[in-house]
A = this chain, B = another copy of it.
């Protein structure tokens, strides 16, 4: 597969009923997304609550989603253990995943430096059957992988991209200026989609694309068409909604927004809790203001 990592990818949320996996609801969401020009899907992103999923559940999800789409499937199969990461990635590949999105290892925070990251990603990349995308998300890991390290890793033939979920677009500029063109940088949060694209990113893996796929695609297309003013306006409209379903209300908020907007969201898995009624009302107001809902 050539490195066709561009455009908009929703990191799919995982629906549960009574705290158990609800595959049918996941499929119902996908059917709605399939009508759009999305480039593909991310399974087991942070908002997919992958840390709460068992290995078997992950395998089951990939298999089912693969049956429902021909688009690119990116599977979040990174764990601190190199052994477990290789193993899960190869199983995911067999079930149909096209790329592995590998979150930075992070448990031994103070040891997570240049060399450790080189060790980790190189070791894994050499032994997995699908290309690797580095995933940097300090808000969850409290670890940050430096541009220098990414630039060095980008030389590896099986490390093909970066999802950067900081809101610091100077990182993107710096990386894009140096890596080979085959290495792609993808914005990890809708709040900086437009500045990220202007800085050289080729697309976005955006929690917001779960609830507003059309708006995310529209911004992406406005940018491609050079319509900078309109793109910026849309970007500004998106920011409060995006904040509501990420930093403000977290995955519980994202799932509540899906319910409000006609998708299948439901409650997050325990130990997380759903929004309170008051929070749902607040969220409805935010969504209405942003005209995502009549």
Let me know if A232 is at the binding interface, CB within 8 A.
yes
Binary contact track A130-141/B, C-beta < 8 Å → 1, others 0 = 000000000110
With a cutoff of 8 Å between Cβ atoms, the chain B residues found around residue A170 in the complex are 167, 189, 191-192, 195, 239
Question: Is B195 within 8 A of A109, CB to CB?
Answer: no
Let me know if A265 is at the binding interface, CB within 8 A.
no
| A79-125 CB contacts (< 8 Å) to partner B | 79-84, 87, 105, 107-111, 115-117, 119-120, 123
If the complex has contacts A53-B81, A54-B81, are A272 and B108 also in contact, measured as CB distance less than 8 A?
A: yes
Give me 18 other A-B pairs in contact (C-beta within 8 A), A110-B247, A123-B270, A200-B236 excluded: A51-B105, A52-B81, A53-B81, A54-B81, A54-B84, A117-B271, A119-B273, A167-B169, A167-B170, A168-B192, A169-B169, A169-B192, A170-B191, A170-B192, A170-B195, A170-B239, A173-B236, A194-B199
Question: Is A199 within 8 A of B119, CB to CB?
Answer: no
How close is A219's CB to chain B, nearest CB, in angstroms? 12
In the bound complex, how far is the Cα of B223 from the Cα of A228, in angstroms?
11
If the complex has contacts A119-B273, A168-B168, A195-B169, are A51 and B107 also in contact, measured as CB distance less than 8 A?
A: yes
Let me know if A23 is at the binding interface, CB within 8 A.
no
Question: Is A271 within 8 A of B116, CB to CB?
Answer: yes
Residue on B nearest A250 in the bound complex, by CB = B111
If the complex has contacts A123-B271, A167-B168, are A232 and B116 also in contact, measured as CB distance less than 8 A?
A: no
Binary contact track A169-194/B, C-beta < 8 Å → 1, others 0 = 11001101100000000000101101
How close is A247's CB to chain B, nearest CB, in angstroms? 7
Interface size on A, residues (CB 8 A): 62
- Main secondary structure on A side of the interface with B: helix
How close is A178's CB to chain B, nearest CB, in angstroms? 8
Residue on B nearest A20 in the bound complex, by CB = B83
With a cutoff of 8 Å between Cβ atoms, the chain B residues found around residue A79 in the complex are 51
24 A-B interface contacts by CB (under 8 A): A54-B81, A82-B270, A105-B271, A109-B140, A111-B252, A111-B272, A116-B273, A119-B270, A123-B271, A142-B142, A167-B167, A167-B170, A168-B168, A169-B192, A170-B239, A173-B195, A173-B232, A174-B239, A176-B236, A177-B233, A177-B236, A194-B199, A199-B235, A228-B228
With a cutoff of 8 Å between Cβ atoms, the chain B residues found around residue A239 in the complex are 170, 173-174, 177
